[in-house]
C-alpha cells in the first residue's frame, strides 16, 4: 500500500476542485476551441461553425473537425492540466505512474475486459438509448434527442475514413488524445481530489464517473458511459497507476473506431454504433468473463498496491 500523498494539490480539496474546474473551462471551453477554430479555419473554405451545427460533410470538413478536436483535447485536457499540476500546484507527474508488477499482464487483462465489458452492458446501452422521460421533462427530452441526433450525425461524418491513413488519424484524435487527457483530468485530478475530500474512494470513483459521463452531453448514452467511467476509476484505484485506465480508455475507443471503419469498408457486418443489445447467452458469458478478469486483476494488483487516499493527515479510508 502506498504512502498517503497529495498528488494534485496541498490546498483544501474543495478549493482544489474549483481551481481544476476553472482550469478545464479555460482550456477546454475557451482557449482550446478558439485556437482550434483559428487553425481549422485556415484551411477549411466553408462555414465551420455552421457546418459543425449541421454536421456538414463538405470537402475538407473531416480534416478540419479532426484537427480542431485534436487541438481542443490537447490544450484543454492535457496541456492546461499538466501546467496546473506542475506549475500552479508544484507537483510532479511521476507519482501518478508508480511501478506496477507485471505491467504487461495487467494491460493484457485490461484489453480482455475491453472486449467483454461492452457486450456485458449492451442491454443497458439499448435501454438507455430508448429511454422515455416523464411528461414534465418533455422539453429536456426534445433537446436531448436533438443533441443526440446531431452528435450521432457528426460522429458518422468524422468516422467515415476512406483510407488506412485516415483511420490512423482518427485513432489518434478520437482514441489516443482523449484517453490521456480525460483520464488525467477525471481520474488523476478530479477522482483524487474527491477522494481526498470525501475520504471514501468509492464515492470519488462514482461521482467522477458521473461528471465524466455528463460532460459528453449525450444523455442517451449516459448510463453506459457512467459504468465505463467507473470501470476506469476502479482500475486506477486498484492499480495506483494512471497508465492502466489510460490504456483501457484508449483500447475501448480505438477498438470502436476500428470496428466502425471495418463496417464502413464492409469487411465486417458488426455495427458497434447501433446500440442494440447482444443476445443474452453472449451477454451472460461476457459478464462471467468480465467479472473473472476484474476479480483476477483486483486479486493480483489491489492487494499489492491499493491507492491510499491523498489526504493531509488524520484517519484514512483504506477499504477496498
Quote the percentage of the chain above a pLDDT of 70: 92
Instruction: Give the tens place of pLDDT for each residue, 176-227.
Output: 999 999 999 999 999 999 999 999 999 999 999 999 999 988 889 999 999 9
Count CA within 13 A, CB hemisphere, residue 20: 26
Query: Which cell numbers in the block locate residue 15?
Result: 478549493
Look at residue 65 and tell me if it is in a domain.
Answer: no
Look at residue 219 and tell me if it is in a domain.
Answer: yes
Average pLDDT of 20-29? 96
Q: Which of 185, 205, 227, 184 has the alpha carbon at shortest distance from 317? A: 205
Q: How far apart are the first and last CA of the chain?
A: 12
What pLDDT sits at residue 313? 44
Look at residue 86 and tell me if it is in a domain.
Answer: no
Look at residue 269 and tell me if it is in a domain.
Answer: yes
- pLDDT band, very low/low/confident/very high, at 5 (cuts 50, 70, 90): low
Query: Could you give phi then psi for residue 218, rounded to 5 degrees?
Result: -125, 90
Residue 274: Cβ within 10 Å count: 10
Residue-range definition of the domain harbouring residue 265: 97-302
How much is the pTM?
0.91
* 294 touches 176 (CB < 8 A): no
Look at residue 45 and tell me if it is in a domain.
Answer: no
Q: Find where cell 490546498 sits.
A: 11
What pLDDT sits at residue 88? 96
Look at residue 59 and tell me if it is in a domain.
Answer: no
Average pLDDT of 8-33? 96
Look at residue 77 and tell me if it is in a domain.
Answer: no
Look at residue 64 and tell me if it is in a domain.
Answer: no
Instruction: Give the tens place of pLDDT for each residue, 71-99.
Output: 999 999 999 999 999 999 999 999 999 98
d(CA 267, CA 260): 10
pLDDT at 103 over 90: yes
pLDDT at 2 over 80: no
Instruction: Give the tens place of pLDDT for each residue, 125-161.
Output: 999 999 988 888 888 888 888 888 888 877 887 788 8
- Please give the tally of structural domains in the chain: 1
Sign of CA dihedral 260, 262, 268, 269: positive
Query: Which cell numbers in the block locate residue 12?
Result: 483544501
What pLDDT sits at residue 305? 52
Amino acid at each position: 500500500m502506498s504512502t498517503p500523498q497529495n498528488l494534485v494539490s496541498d490546498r483544501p480539496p474543495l478549493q482544489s476542485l474549483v481551481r481544476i474546474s476553472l482550469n478545464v473551462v479555460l482550456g477546454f471551453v475557451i482557449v482550446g476551441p478558439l485556437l482550434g477554430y483559428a487553425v481549422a479555419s485556415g484551411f477549411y473554405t466553408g462555414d465551420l461553425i455552421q457546418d459543425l451545427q449541421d454536421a456538414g460533410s463538405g470537402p475538407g470538413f473531416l480534416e478540419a473537425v479532426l484537427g480542431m478536436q485534436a487541438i481542443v483535447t490537447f490544450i484543454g485536457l492535457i496541456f492546461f492540466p499538466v501546467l496546473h499540476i506542475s506549475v500552479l500546484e508544484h507537483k510532479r507527474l511521476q507519482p501518478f505512474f508508480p511501478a506496477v508488477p507485471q505491467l504487461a499482464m495487467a494491460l493484457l487483462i485490461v484489453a480482455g475486459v475491453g472486449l467483454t465489458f461492452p457486450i456485458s452492458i449492451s442491454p443497458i446501452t439499448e435501454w438507455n438509448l430508448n429511454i422515455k422521460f416523464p411528461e414534465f421533462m418533455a422539453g429536456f427530452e426534445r433537446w436531448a434527442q436533438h443533441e443526440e441526433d446531431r452528435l450521432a450525425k457528426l460522429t458518422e461524418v468524422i468516422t467515415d475514413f476512406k483510407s488506412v491513413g485516415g483511420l490512423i488519424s482518427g485513432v489518434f484524435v478520437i482514441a489516443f488524445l482523449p484517453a490521456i487527457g480525460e483520464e488525467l483530468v477525471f481520474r488523476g485530478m478530479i477522482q483524487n481530489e474527491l477522494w481526498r475530500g470525501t475520504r471514501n474512494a468509492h464515492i470519488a470513483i462514482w461521482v467522477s464517473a458521473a461528471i465524466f459521463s455528463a460532460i459528453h452531453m449525450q444523455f442517451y448514452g449516459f448510463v453506459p458511459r457512467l459504468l465505463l467511467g467507473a470501470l476506469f476509476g476502479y482500475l486506477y484505484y486498484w492499480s495506483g497507476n494512471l497508465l492502466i485506465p489510460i490504456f483501457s480508455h484508449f483500447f475501448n475507443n480505438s477498438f470502436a473506431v476500428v470496428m466502425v471503419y471495418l463496417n464502413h469498408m464492409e469487411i465486417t457486418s458488426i455495427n458497434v454504433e447501433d446500440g442494440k443489445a447482444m443476445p443474452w447467452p453472449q451477454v451472460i458469458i461476457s459478464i462471467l468473463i468480465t467479472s473473472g478478469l476484474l476479480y483476477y486483476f483486483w486479486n493480483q494488483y489491489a492487494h499489492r498496491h491499493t491507492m491510499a487516499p491523498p489526504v493531509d493527515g488524520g484517519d484514512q479510508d483504506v477499504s477496498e
